[in-house]
């Protein structure tokens, strides 16, 4: 019987390895940038063309490689980082497995120029589909320049699975920013299609965060720094007002390596408990330094998921460090009366409470009754009725002579008591506490009624319907925006004073991609360079005038839909706008506004569900009510 097990050829083995290591252009960006850092570079340049599909090139001024090393680095499992099994548990470098360059060479055409520090000539190597085509001496600067061209040219099926250029570029920017945050002491430059997107000079961590997130974060960062023998935690967290509805500004680094850890994220969320809304996410850039022996970084191909030998200690320490930082910098809700001049005009603020008035108030029987422990609900029956009648004087600074003259029967004309109605001694009837608005509207049965500022109750011939005001308005806006994209653009309300909108790099890329559709939906935006846009107008039907809040809310919703749903970009945009601009629960509506929602909802092509699939209304029939109240039985 013939043997059937054979060793795979190197080029096939490399392609299989590349399936784990190089999933998209951003994967190659990550590996090449990490190699440049490990080479001791202080200046690193990343050049991208066609979102990495045509070219990914990294140029560094690191130590470079000799002729032999330049050839060996493209072999499988070739690394300078590990010599023995013990080294595997003391890794402090970024790359170490020796798979990156071999995997890149298996799925792309690679050109590399490198020159070792102190040598006169460098080495030029050209590799195509894992095969070395050219290797020769060359003139080049000290350091390494490696270019990956035509990614997946020999694996068409994988190339077809790549996303749009804008989507792939967002992944590249994500990887670039993570590494730039981890090494603020290095210079990083990113150029895409001959246009410079980022230029980060060497500096401190705070300077790098501000350079990435924007200057408005300068006064919104809180320093975190805790040191122990076991581990160190340092970095920055954003003040509660920087929290957003979607993730994106959360960065954890362990030994300068970016990681994703839901467990540690939960620790930070607990530290922010009661400071931010439940559905919001705080900004944080946190670094954890500990002995590599206590962490396993090789449990996932991307090395972004790691394992700690004692996760409970890590959780408690991170939570404590963030809590301590927030407390130390007094990041708690406060009342600043200096901000509102109207408050300064109140009597309680600008009129002193004299010692005579204090003695007068504290000696009354009414004060004594309420100041005794566990007696707040008790009122002495023997208390003089006139004292009770003048209880407001305790707070309004009434005439003190009224009490000092001890004239219990002297009454102010405005406070003369009137005969009490006969029913005062009886419990208040249920009918008397019905909401006055209900009483007003119940006369005309066609007028809709708002229930708890969330639902609209409207009578129909067979009974009544209960409408979710937010879901209904979302459906109305969704179909309105769909028509704007397909038939007639929406009108724009031009701003008297155009605003400048500063965005994060990833958000700026999203807006740039959506600009044509945004214009059809009523937004007038103009790119202004350096991730900035000029907002000249917004949709005319927006109920608020804060252009920046409108666009930031739209971005948050768009990122939410991008994470949750597999739908095209235009559909995501329309749903995001509808969700962001819909009337929220808790908003008080006038009868006319409620009626407009009802009329517009039932003019929709699909009035019964919101764009997300939630019911917009529920109907109740008279027969159902009769059965519930056991009528006719």
For position 416, what pLDDT does the model report?
A: 41
The model's pTM is 0.64
What value does the mean pLDDT take over residues 356-382? 60
DSSP, collapsed to helix, strand or coil, labels residue 287 as strand
Q: Quick count: other Cβ atoms within 10 Å of Cβ 122?
A: 24
Q: How many CA atoms lie within 13 A of 577 on its CB side?
A: 27
Tokens 């996410």 -> residue = 281
Check if the beta carbon of residue 496 is closer than 8 Å to that of residue 538.
Answer: no
Check if the beta carbon of residue 525 is closer than 8 Å to that of residue 515.
Answer: yes
Distance of CA 30 to the CA centre of its chain: 24
Q: How many CA atoms lie within 13 A of 569 on its CB side?
A: 15
Last residue of a domain, one of 153, 177, 200: 200
d(CA 445, CA 458): 8
Check if the beta carbon of residue 288 is closer than 8 Å to that of residue 233.
Answer: yes
- Shortest CA distance to 292 belongs to which of 93, 98, 100? 93
For position 421, what pLDDT does the model report?
A: 43
395's CB contacts (< 8 A; 6+ apart) are: none
| Residue 324 shares a structural domain with residue 365 | no
Residue numbers of the domain that contains 353: 345-376+385-407
d(CA 531, CA 192): 14
Q: Is residue 448 part of a domain?
A: no
Average pLDDT value over all residues in the chain: 77
- For residue 89, give both structure tokens: 């548990």
14's CB contacts (< 8 A; 6+ apart) are: 76, 102, 103, 105, 106, 130
* Helix %, strand %, coil % of the chain (to 5): 40, 20, 40
| Residue 253 shares a structural domain with residue 281 | yes
Check if the beta carbon of residue 570 is closer than 8 Å to that of residue 579.
Answer: no
Check if the beta carbon of residue 42 is closer than 8 Å to that of residue 186.
Answer: yes
Confidence of residue 496 (pLDDT cuts 50, 70, 90): confident
Q: How many CA atoms lie within 13 A of 166 on its CB side?
A: 11
Higher pLDDT, 624 or 199: 199
What value does the mean pLDDT take over residues 435-442? 41
**Of the segments 139-143, 374-378, 493-497, 547-551, which one has the largest average pLDDT value?**
139-143
Among the ranges given (81-95, 297-311, 423-437), the one the predictor scored with the smallest mean pLDDT: 423-437
Quick: pLDDT tens for 132-156.
899 999 999 999 999 999 988 888 8
d(CA 468, CA 261): 37
For position 208, what pLDDT does the model report?
A: 93
| Residue 135 shares a structural domain with residue 177 | yes
Tokens 């961590």 -> residue = 205
CA dihedral for 266, 268, 273, 276, sign (positive or negative) = negative
**Of the segments 279-288, 572-581, 623-632, which one has the largest average pLDDT value?**
279-288
d(CA 532, CA 502): 5
Among the ranges given (115-124, 302-311, 400-409), the one the predictor scored with the smallest mean pLDDT: 400-409
| Residue 489 shares a structural domain with residue 612 | yes
Q: How many domains does one find in the chain? A: 4
> Is residue 272 scored above 50 in pLDDT?
yes
What value does the mean pLDDT take over residues 194-209? 91
CA distances from 190 to 107, 227, 269, 505, 513 (A): 23, 34, 33, 12, 19
d(CA 57, CA 74): 16
624's CB contacts (< 8 A; 6+ apart) are: 463
Check if the beta carbon of residue 540 is closer than 8 Å to that of residue 493.
Answer: yes
What value does the mean pLDDT take over residues 328-338? 52
- Shortest CA distance to 551 belongs to which of 528, 571, 570, 532? 532
DSSP, collapsed to helix, strand or coil, labels residue 377 as coil
- Residue 408's φ and ψ, nearest 5 degrees, are -60, -25
Q: Is residue 253 part of a domain?
A: yes
* R_g of the chain computed on alpha carbons: 34
27 CB-contact burial (10 Å; exposed 0-12 / middle 13-18 / buried 19+): buried
Confidence of residue 165 (pLDDT cuts 50, 70, 90): confident
| Residue 523 shares a structural domain with residue 587 | yes
Quick: pLDDT tens for 510-546.
788 778 888 888 888 888 877 788 888 888 777 655 6
- Shortest CA distance to 31 belongs to which of 74, 83, 66? 74
Q: Which DSSP helix (H) or strand (E) runs through 499?
A: strand 492-502
Confidence of residue 422 (pLDDT cuts 50, 70, 90): very low
CA dihedral for 232, 237, 243, 249, sign (positive or negative) = negative
Q: Is residue 440 part of a domain?
A: no
DSSP, collapsed to helix, strand or coil, labels residue 188 as strand
- For residue 32, give both structure tokens: 């090449």
| Residue 211 shares a structural domain with residue 143 | no
For position 43, what pLDDT does the model report?
A: 95
Among the ranges given (111-125, 338-352, 408-422, 607-621), the one the predictor scored with the smallest mean pLDDT: 408-422
What value does the mean pLDDT take over residues 35-49? 93
What value does the mean pLDDT take over residues 336-365? 58
> Is residue 291 scored above 50 in pLDDT?
yes
Q: Domain of 76: which CATH number?
A: 3.30.565.10
d(CA 368, CA 534): 63
Higher pLDDT, 587 or 308: 587
Q: Is residue 551 part of a domain?
A: yes
| Residue 186 shares a structural domain with residue 212 | no
532's CB contacts (< 8 A; 6+ apart) are: 500, 501, 502, 503, 508
**Of the segments 244-248, 405-409, 431-435, 595-599, which one has the largest average pLDDT value?**
595-599
| Residue 297 shares a structural domain with residue 401 | no
| Residue 479 shares a structural domain with residue 593 | yes
DSSP for 253-299, please give it.
EETTEEE--HHHHHHHHHHTTTTS-TT-B--EEEEEEE-GGGEE--S
DSSP, collapsed to helix, strand or coil, labels residue 45 as strand
Among the ranges given (116-130, 295-309, 562-576), the one the predictor scored with the smallest mean pLDDT: 295-309
> Is residue 582 scored above 90 in pLDDT?
no
| Residue 128 shares a structural domain with residue 214 | no
Q: Is residue 624 part of a domain?
A: no
> Is residue 281 scored above 60 in pLDDT?
yes
Q: Quick count: other Cβ atoms within 10 Å of Cβ 158?
A: 17
For position 402, what pLDDT does the model report?
A: 44
Buried b (16+ CB within 10 A) or exposed e, 565-604: eeeebbebbbbbbbbbbbbeeeeebebebbbebbebbeeb
What value does the mean pLDDT take over residues 599-622? 88
For position 427, what pLDDT does the model report?
A: 42
| Residue 179 shares a structural domain with residue 291 | no
CA dihedral for 624, 628, 632, 633, sign (positive or negative) = positive
In 389-462, DSSP assigns E strands to 449-451, 455-460
| Residue 233 shares a structural domain with residue 350 | no
> Is residue 275 scored above 80 in pLDDT?
yes
d(CA 407, CA 409): 6
For position 304, what pLDDT does the model report?
A: 64
Any alpha helices (H) in 93-237, and if so which ranges?
Answer: 100-107, 156-160, 165-182, 205-213
Q: Domain of 265: which CATH number?
A: 3.30.230.10
Q: Is residue 184 part of a domain?
A: yes
How many residues are there in the chain? 633
Q: Domain of 474: which CATH number?
A: 3.30.1370.100
354 CB-contact burial (10 Å; exposed 0-12 / middle 13-18 / buried 19+): exposed
> Is residue 172 scored above 90 in pLDDT?
yes
Quick: pLDDT tens for 314-331.
889 999 999 999 887 765
CA dihedral for 269, 270, 276, 279, sign (positive or negative) = positive
Q: Is residue 623 part of a domain?
A: no
């Amino acid at each position: 019987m013939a043997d059937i097990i054979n060793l795979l050829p190197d080029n096939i083995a490399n392609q299989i390895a590349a399936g784990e290591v190089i999933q998209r252009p951003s994967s190659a960006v990550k590996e090449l940038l990490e190699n440049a850092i490990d080479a001791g570079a202080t200046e690193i340049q990343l050049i991208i063309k066609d979102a990495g599909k045509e070219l990914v090139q990294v140029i560094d001024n690191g130590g470079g490689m000799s002729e032999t090393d330049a050839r060996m680095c493209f072999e499988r499992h070739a690394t300078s980082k590990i010599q023995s099994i013990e080294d595997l548990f003391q890794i402090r470098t970024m790359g170490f497995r020796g798979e990156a360059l071999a995997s890149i060479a298996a799925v792309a055409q690679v050109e590399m120029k490198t020159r070792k520090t102190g040598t006169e000539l460098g080495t030029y190597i050209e590799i195509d589909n894992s095969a070395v085509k050219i290797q020769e001496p060359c003139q080049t600067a000290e350091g390494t320049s490696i270019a990956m061209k035509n990614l997946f040219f020999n694996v068409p099926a994988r190339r077809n699975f790549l996303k749009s250029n804008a989507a792939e570029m967002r992944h590249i920017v994500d990887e670039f920013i993570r590494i730039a945050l981890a090494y603020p002491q290095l210079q990083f430059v990113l150029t895409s299609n001959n246009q410079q997107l980022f230029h980060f000079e060497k500096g401190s961590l705070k300077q790098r965060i501000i350079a990435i997130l924007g200057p408005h974060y300068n006064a919104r960062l809180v320093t975190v720094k805790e040191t122990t023998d076991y581990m160190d935690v340092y970095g920055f967290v954003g003040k509660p007002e920087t929290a957003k509805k979607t993730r994106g500004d959360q960065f954890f680094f362990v030994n300068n390596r970016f990681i994703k850890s839901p467990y540690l994220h939960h620790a930070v969320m607990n530290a922010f408990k009661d400071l931010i809304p439940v559905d919001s996410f705080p900004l944080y850039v946190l670094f954890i330094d500990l002995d590599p022996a206590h962490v396993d970084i090789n449990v996932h191909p991307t090395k972004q998921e790691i394992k700690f030998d004692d996760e409970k200690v890590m959780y408690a320490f991170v939570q404590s460090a963030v809590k301590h930082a927030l407390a130390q910098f007094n990041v708690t809700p406060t009342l600043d009366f200096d901000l509102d001049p109207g408050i300064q005009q109140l009597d309680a603020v600008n009129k002193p409470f004299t010692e005579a008035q204090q003695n007068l108030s504290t000696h009354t029987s009414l004060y004594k009754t309420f100041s005794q422990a566990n007696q707040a609900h008790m009122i002495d029956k023997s208390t003089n009725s006139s004292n009770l009648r003048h209880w407001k004087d305790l707070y309004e600074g009434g005439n003190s002579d009224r009490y000092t003259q001890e004239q219990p029967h002297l009454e102010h004309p405005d406070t003369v008591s009137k005969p009490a109605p006969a029913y005062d001694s009886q419990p208040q009837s249920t009918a008397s506490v019905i909401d006055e608005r209900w009483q007003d509207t119940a006369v005309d049965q066609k007028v809709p009624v708002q229930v708890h500022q969330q639902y609209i109750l409207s009578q129909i011939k067979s009974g009544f319907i209960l409408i979710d005001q937010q879901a209904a308005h979302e459906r109305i806006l969704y179909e309105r925006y769909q028509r704007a994209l397909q038939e007639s653009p929406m009108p724009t309300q031009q701003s008297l004073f155009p605003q400048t909108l500063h965005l994060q790099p990833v958000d700026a890329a999203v807006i740039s991609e959506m600009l044509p559709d945004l214009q059809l939906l009523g937004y007038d935006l103009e790119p202004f360079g350096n991730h900035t846009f000029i907002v000249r107008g917004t949709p005319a039907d927006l109920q608020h005038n804060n252009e920046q809040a409108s666009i930031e809310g739209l971005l948050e919703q768009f990122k939410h839909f991008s994470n949750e749903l597999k739908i095209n970009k235009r559909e995501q945009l329309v749903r995001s706008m509808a969700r962001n601009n819909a009337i929220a629960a808790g908003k008080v509506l006038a009868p006319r506004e409620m009626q407009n929602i009802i009329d517009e909802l039932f003019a929709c092509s699909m009035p019964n569900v919101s764009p997300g699939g939630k019911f917009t209304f529920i109907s109740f029939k008279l027969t159902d009510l009769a059965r519930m109240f056991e009528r006719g039985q």
